[in-house]
Structure 1
């Protein structure tokens, strides 16, 4: 009985974190200085905008109001701020025919301008059942959507650990890197 009560109290404390605290995504999402991304994919697919759309929508849902984004941490008021930095985008033109696509981001949760938590998220996609018919940007958008879901859970639950996602079986990093 005591265990159940303790678990219940922990669940209330953990699940109440985001309910009491508004969390906003700082936009625009930035790129790390050493980020690996094919310029054409960066220009045409705009992974930073895809992430802003999906993560912002998730935070809007968690917050229950607003658009889930803020232009700077200074403008966030009492809200916490989620800052994303893209460190790598795996993808070349050719959609599903040119292999898997991936987005990797570093995420920081700031409160009062100070980093209170940070994590790394990497999500892969081969485009699913109809991957060969999907374009690169569409597949990267799926990666951004998955990152949005992961970060929504992470923001809402301080004990949630984002698991590193293994590369798909048909991913050949050496050949992918050489193609880029």
Structure 2
């Protein structure tokens, strides 16, 4: 019995070590029909935020290495994570202009075949000190949350990313009242 247990542990450890690494394809791109304010796109560089945060979690998952691979480089033994930014909700003015959101489309590829797909949308109002943060730093928070989601999603095939509801600050009022006359 002990021998059987030992052999099964060795085989499972070998299978875990033998799992191919997952690398983020860079550069992260915008979908052709991506909805984003041009000024936010130019100033915040959300694609760089995603590359940094997702690359970091994949480096941790792979237990070393770079975590990224250039889109033109072939990596036959690795699985590739391809991200496209599909929507960015945010304008200048930081937290004072309302919540911010980033939406990405994620494809996990083995060779040229897409084995998994997810759409991830994460919101933020800036956290405790949100009123003192700018739009780019609040959007950076959304990319951190996306990276954490992708870490679990890549590591666990049964994990499903759930759509996140917008914060209460972003929802429309439920009852409309007539404006009061100010004298």
TM-score normalised by length of structure 2: 0.83
Name the counterpart of 2:34: 35
Q: How many residues end up aligned between the 2 structures? A: 161
Q: Secondary structure at the match of 1:132?
A: helix
Q: What SS does structure 2 have at the residue aligned with 1:170? A: helix
Alpha-carbon shift at residue 77 of structure 1 (Å): 2.4
The aligned counterpart of 2:126 is: 127
1:9 equivalent in structure 2: none
Asked which structure has the greater CA Rg, the reply is 2
Between the aligned partners of 2:88 and 2:112, the Cα distance in structure 1 is 28
Q: Which runs of 5+ in 2 are unaligned?
A: 1-11, 173-183
Greater relative contact order (Cα 8 A, min sep 6): structure 1 or 2? 1
Q: Shift of the alpha carbon at 1:74?
A: 4.7
Normalised TM-score (structure 1): 0.84
Q: Is the 8 A contact 1:85 1:107 kept in 2?
A: yes
Ranges of 4+ aligned residues in structure 1 off by more than 6 Å: none
Q: Can you list the C-alpha shifts for 1:6-44, whole angstroms capped at 9, x where unaligned?
A: xxxxxx79x94x971200000110111110000110011
Which whole-Å deviations, capped at 9, do the CAs of 1:85-141 have from their partners, x for residues lacking one? 000000000111110000000000000111000000000000011111001110000
Superposed counterparts of 1:16-35, under 5 Å: 16=16, 20-35=19-34
Partners of 1:89 and 1:103 within 8 A in 2: yes
